[in-house]
Amino acid sequence: FPSHDSGIIVFIGIFIFRSATIREIIISLIGLITPLLITIAVYYSSGMDIMALKQAVLFNLFAGSGKYSFSAFQITGLSLILLVMIVSIFHLLALLNNKKIKSRKTFMLLLWSLAAVTGVYIFVPSASEELIWFIAIPLSYIISHYLIFSRNRIVPEIALGTIFIVIIIMQVLNLI
């Protein structure tokens, strides 16, 4: 179940955008537990072993996943994107108090979701390397904010062009 990382983002969103009431928290918990309850009901009604499901869930949550090895060029490309990401986050944090309330809350949710997915990737042994690509969702908003609102036009243009070139080369190298 990948709900442990999605659930973190849901609760962060509740606390950022709304005043967290017990009712909303309980409804969110029920929403996160519902797929598991439906799966248990299907297992029970079809006569399958529920203990095997329990072992599968525990294995998927806490056992280590297979290791993916990044190529040297992928590491180089991801390092470049990491550098642009760090610059973009500092640029966003410097301008965050100047944003409207809704924009500020949205960017805070993006930053928290970036931190939550990164934390899940680092601390949960069953998290796979595909979570790195899931980070691209909030990262695209943060980098685009940097590209649009940066006063210096040359550095963001060079960074964007370099990212495009690196991504194209990574895609071509994956085909070979």
117 close to 123: Cβ distance less than 8 angstroms? no
pLDDT, tens only, 28-67: 888 888 888 898 899 889 988 888 888 887 777 777 666 6
Alpha-carbon gap, residue 146 to 167, rounded angstroms: 19
**pLDDT over 60 (residue 1):** no
Mean pLDDT of the chain: 84
Closest residue by Cα to residue 113 from 93, 143, 147, 142: 142
Which residues lie below 8 Å from residue 17, measured CB to CB, with a gap of 6+?
105, 109
CA 149 to chain CA centroid, Å, is 24
Secondary element (H or E) of residue 140: helix 136-149
Give the pLDDT score at 15.
82
pLDDT score recorded for residue 144: 92
Report angle CA 5, 8, 10 to the nearest 5 degrees: 110
Measured on CA atoms in the order 26, 28, 34, 37, is the torsion positive or negative?
A: negative
**Tokens of residue 168, six digits:** 């194209």
Contacts of 65 (CB under 8 A, 6+ apart): 125, 126, 127, 128
